[in-house]
Amino acid sequence: MERTLVIIKPDGVQRGLIGQIVTRFERRGLRIAGMKLIQIDKALAGRHYAIHKGKPFYEPLIHYITSSPVVVMVLEGNDAIEIARRTMGATKPAEAAPGTIRADFGLEIGRNLVHGSDGPDTAAFEVPLFFAEDELLSYKRDTDRWIFE
C-alpha cells in the first residue's frame, strides 16, 4: 500500500468544497489513513515549500497557504500517488482533464484547490510534516475486495 499527502488548500476550504473533494478520492477507491483541519503556520509552510525558496512565487505561496485553514489528509492504496494526482488534474486548471478536481472547480494556477505529493520521496518527506505515525491508521474496508486485486 502506497501513501500520499493531499492538502485541500485555503480556496477549497473557503469555497465549501471539502466534502466534494474528499468524495472524489474515496470514489476512486483510496482509503483515508489520516485527516485533519489545521491552520498552517509560517514555519511549517516554509518547511513544506522549502524547495521553492528563492523563487518569485515563494512568498505569495507562503502567505496564501497560511491565510486560512486547510484540510490535510493521507490517502493510501495501490498507486495512491498517481491515482491522487490524476484525480486532482494538471496543476494549471485550464490544462486539467475534464472530470478532475482542478478542471471542475478551478480557474487559476494559484487557486487550484489541492496539493498532492508528486512522488514517493516527496510523500515520505511531506507526510511526517503533518502527521505523527500514531495519527495514521491502516485498516480494511469491506469494499476493498471490490477495489484491490
Identify the three-state secondary structure at position 4.
strand
Does 48 participate in catalysis according to the annotation? no
Question: How far is 43 from 27, CA to CA, in rounded Å?
Answer: 34
C-alpha–C-alpha distance, residues 11 and 103, integer Å: 14
Q: Which amino acid is at 51?
A: I
Dihedral, 54, 55, 60, 61 alpha carbons, nearest 10: -100
- For residues 132 and 136, give the distance between their C-alpha atoms in angstroms, rounded to a whole number: 7
Q: What gap in Å lies between CA 41 and CA 2, rounded to an integer?
A: 28
- Of the candidates 48, 52, 63, 115, the residue annotated as catalytic is 115
Instruction: Indicate which residues carry an active-site annotation.
Output: 115
